[in-house]
């Protein structure tokens, strides 16, 4: 018999290799759950994950520009270890992702997939709170799979669902011919209908994953935050969720209240450029997605929310958000709503041609486009360029105030007449990010989207990674993610070791500020962002 004597070093190497192999095997442990469509097999790592589950039929062919239809079923267990395709979109250079060229068209129309993350200990009897994420991206880009809910699920004992919804023209086209074809005589808002279909899927299936279908929180950022507001205002979403988190939502921001009639009339010009008559839906449904995405509406910027965004006045959004909230005609659930201190700094790059520093003339022009020529003098008097180190900083500051901070106060004021509202601001003066800072800004600060890696505590392509955090930023991340998760669990945000939050009171305009020192209540938010001025100006 051959005998082998292992030295201490060799034994250590063998033991280490064995341990790594066992860990790798454990990290890929399959986990199977039975859904209404069939079984899905995900995997267990830092949490259980089930990826690429279809929640509706592929919206292709005759189903393009139709409400989402029932999802397919299957017999053998479906592999749920890989995310499904993203919805068709044009890559944006503002968020650099390795291997992706700006302007490149990504995705497939067969994209109505969702992903489920649960704690490793979850069982069908767990009845855990559920958090459903609606991603941002100006309603023209993004995906659910860009956000990993593993840490939120395992750390806080919740079920996290992320999802795709139709984007751009495929998700929000309104046309007179589509209105005439529809059962309710309306078109557009297909992306919002997708979100509701995903929420109905959650209601039918999340219990099998350990979630409580009667305890669902929807949460979203940017266009996802605006989607949360839209679902609050949609009668068809009643009962599909019990709490809502709005991050940087643009819900009452200038120019976002486009009616169905306005969009339908405008988009005739868009359809004319597709080599189809605007009345020929059979032709339009055969147009290549790349052509749809790269064709612009004459006179409007391709990425403008005025082009592809929710429309109001009929169908699933009978009222504008402003009217729905003011009249109390919305789904009355507790709301957690927040913004970032320096939202507008992200957008300076987008308006600086060729990445060159923003000039004073461009500052004036951008301000005129935002506030209107009639208001230009008054706005420039409030934000004189000489008061800022650069025109870019001046524009970023007024953009933050006009488009994000002050509309958020208006949202909180309106909703708080009917439901508990908790308001916050994320304020890391040098938030971790992978986005390049324009040369004419002192830094991105807590720019638009900067809080997302803090909340999810996972890398997000194009935005950054928690590996970039300093110890203070790691603590800030814990505070923000805990506030979101405890709100989803209890209806009241809580941060360990920090004072209890008070609901938003319009008379005090109290906002909880998340910074490197902790979480403190401030009643100076509205004054800091000149909200009295913007309210009087009333750009809507």
Query: Taking 50 as the threshold, does the pLDDT of residue 15 lie above it?
Result: no
Q: Report pLDDT for 17.
A: 43
Tokens of 2: 């051959």
Query: Taking 60 as the threshold, does the pLDDT of residue 300 lie above it?
Result: no
For residue 163, being part of any structural domain is answered with yes
For residue 399, being part of any structural domain is answered with no
Query: Taking 60 as the threshold, does the pLDDT of residue 513 lie above it?
Result: yes
Query: Taking 50 as the threshold, does the pLDDT of residue 12 lie above it?
Result: no
Domain that residue 62 falls in: 38-120+143-242+254-317
Residue % of the chain over a pLDDT of 90: 84
For residue 473, being part of any structural domain is answered with no
Band (pLDDT 50/70/90 cuts) for residue 27 is: low
CA distance 146 to 154: 18
Nearest alpha carbon to residue 244 among 269, 218, 222: 218
Q: Report pLDDT for 185.
A: 93
For residue 75, being part of any structural domain is answered with yes
Query: Taking 70 as the threshold, does the pLDDT of residue 132 lie above it?
Result: yes
For residue 531, being part of any structural domain is answered with no
Place of tokens 């806080």: 156
Cα separations (Å) of 487 from 95, 153, 338, 482, 514?
29, 14, 13, 8, 15
Cα separations (Å) of 468 from 45, 46, 339, 471, 472?
23, 20, 22, 10, 11
Query: Taking 60 as the threshold, does the pLDDT of residue 296 lie above it?
Result: yes
For residue 109, being part of any structural domain is answered with yes
Sign of CA dihedral 435, 443, 511, 470: positive
More confident: 6 or 347: 347
Q: Cβ neighbours of residue 387 under 8 Å, at least 6 residues apart?
A: 394
Q: Report pLDDT for 20.
A: 41
Q: Which of 55-59, 191-195, 264-268 is predicted with the least confidence, judged by mean pLDDT?
A: 264-268
For residue 467, being part of any structural domain is answered with no
Band (pLDDT 50/70/90 cuts) for residue 4 is: very low
Query: Taking 90 as the threshold, does the pLDDT of residue 98 lie above it?
Result: no
Q: Report pLDDT for 168.
A: 95
Q: Report pLDDT for 298.
A: 62
Q: Report pLDDT for 353.
A: 61
Query: Taking 70 as the threshold, does the pLDDT of residue 417 lie above it?
Result: yes
Contact (Cβ atoms closer than 8 angstroms) between residue 199 and residue 162 = no
Active site members: 222, 343, 448
For 383-409, what is each residue's pLDDT tens digit? 999 999 999 999 999 999 999 999 999
Number of neighbours of residue 371 by Cβ within 10 angstroms: 21
Band (pLDDT 50/70/90 cuts) for residue 13 is: very low
CA distance 229 to 222: 11
Query: Taking 80 as the threshold, does the pLDDT of residue 511 lie above it?
Result: yes
Query: Taking 50 as the threshold, does the pLDDT of residue 1 lie above it?
Result: no
Q: Report pLDDT for 406.
A: 97
Query: Taking 80 as the threshold, does the pLDDT of residue 113 lie above it?
Result: yes
Query: Taking 80 as the threshold, does the pLDDT of residue 11 lie above it?
Result: no
For 214-256, what is each residue's pLDDT tens digit? 999 999 999 999 999 999 999 999 999 999 999 999 999 988 8
The region that residue 100 occupies, defined by phi over 0 for left and psi between -120 and 50 for alpha, beta otherwise, is beta
Q: Report pLDDT for 517.
A: 96
Q: Which of 6-20, 284-298, 321-335 is predicted with the least confidence, judged by mean pLDDT?
A: 6-20
Mean of the pLDDT values across residues 51-72?
98
Q: Which long-range contacts (CB under 8 A, 24 or more apart) does 299-307 make?
A: 300/266, 302/90, 302/140, 303/92, 303/138, 303/140, 303/350, 305/138, 305/139, 305/223, 305/250, 305/255, 305/256, 306/255, 306/258
Query: Taking 70 as the threshold, does the pLDDT of residue 21 lie above it?
Result: no
For residue 472, being part of any structural domain is answered with no
Mean of the pLDDT values across residues 464-485?
98
Q: What's the number of domains the chain is made of?
A: 1
Query: Taking 80 as the threshold, does the pLDDT of residue 24 lie above it?
Result: no
Query: Taking 70 as the threshold, does the pLDDT of residue 489 lie above it?
Result: yes
Band (pLDDT 50/70/90 cuts) for residue 108 is: very high
Band (pLDDT 50/70/90 cuts) for residue 299 is: low
CA distance 247 to 228: 9
Q: Tell me the CATH number at 193.
A: 3.40.50.1820
Band (pLDDT 50/70/90 cuts) for residue 97 is: confident
């Amino acid at each position: 018999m051959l005998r082998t004597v292992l030295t201490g070093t060799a034994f250590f190497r063998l033991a280490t290799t064995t341990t790594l192999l066992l860990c790798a095997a454990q990290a890929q442990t399959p986990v199977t759950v039975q859904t209404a469509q069939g079984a899905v097999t995900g995997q267990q790592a830092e949490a259980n994950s089930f990826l690429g589950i279809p929640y509706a039929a592929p919206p292709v062919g005759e189903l393009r520009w139709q409400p989402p239809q029932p999802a397919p079923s299957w017999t053998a267990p479906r592999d749920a270890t890989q995310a499904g395709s993203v919805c068709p979109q044009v890559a944006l250079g503002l968020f650099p992702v390795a291997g992706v060229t700006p302007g490149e068209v990504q995705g497939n129309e067969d994209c109505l997939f969702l992903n489920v993350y649960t704690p490793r200990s979850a069982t069908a009897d767990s009845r855990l709170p559920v958090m459903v994420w609606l991603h941002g991206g100006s309603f023209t880009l993004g995906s659910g799979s860009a956000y990993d809910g593993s840490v939120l699920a395992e750390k806080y004992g919740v079920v996290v669902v992320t999802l795709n919804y139709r984007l751009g023209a495929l998700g929000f086209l309104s046309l007179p011919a589509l209105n005439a074809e529809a059962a309710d005589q309306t078109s557009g808002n297909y992306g919002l209908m997708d979100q509701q279909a995903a929420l109905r899927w959650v209601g039918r299936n999340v219990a099998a994953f350990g979630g409580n279908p009667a305890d669902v929180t929807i949460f979203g950022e940017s266009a996802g935050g605006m989607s949360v507001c839209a679902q609050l205002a949609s009668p068809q979403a009643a009962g599909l969720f019990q709490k809502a988190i709005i991050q940087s939502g643009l819900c009452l921001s200038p120019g976002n209240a486009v009616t169905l009639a306005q969009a339908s009339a405008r988009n005739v010009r868009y359809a004319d450029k597709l080599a189809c008559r605007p009345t020929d839906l059979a032709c339009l449904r055969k147009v290549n997605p790349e052509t749809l995405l790269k064709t612009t509406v004459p006179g409007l910027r391709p990425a403008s929310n005025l082009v592809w965004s929710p429309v109001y006045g009929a169908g699933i959004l009978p009222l504008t958000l402003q009217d729905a909230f003011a009249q109390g005609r919305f789904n009355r659930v507790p709301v957690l709503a927040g913004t970032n201190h320096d939202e507008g700094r992200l957008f300076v790059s987008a308006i600086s041609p060729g990445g060159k520093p923003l000039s004073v003339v461009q500052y004036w022009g951008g301000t005129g486009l935002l506030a209107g020529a009639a208001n230009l003098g008054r706005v420039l008097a409030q934000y004189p360029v000489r008061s800022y180190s650069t025109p870019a900083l001046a524009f970023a500051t007024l953009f933050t105030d006009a488009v994000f901070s002050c509309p958020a106060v208006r949202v909180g004021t309106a909703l708080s007449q009917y439901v508990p509202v908790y308001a916050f601001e994320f304020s890391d003066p040098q938030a971790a990010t992978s986005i390049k800072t324009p040369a004419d800004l002192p830094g991105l600060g807590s720019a638009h989207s900067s809080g997302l890696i803090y909340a999810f505590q996972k890398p997000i392509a194009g935005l950054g990674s928690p590996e970039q955090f300093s110890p203070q930023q790691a603590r800030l991340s814990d505070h923000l993610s805990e506030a979101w998760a405890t709100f989803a669990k209890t209806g009241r945000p809580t941060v360990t070791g920090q004072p209890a939050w008070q609901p938003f009171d319009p008379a005090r305009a109290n906002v909880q500020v998340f910074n490197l020192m902790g979480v403190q209540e401030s009643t100076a938010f509205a004054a800091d962002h000149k909200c009295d001025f913007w309210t009087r100006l009333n750009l809507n």
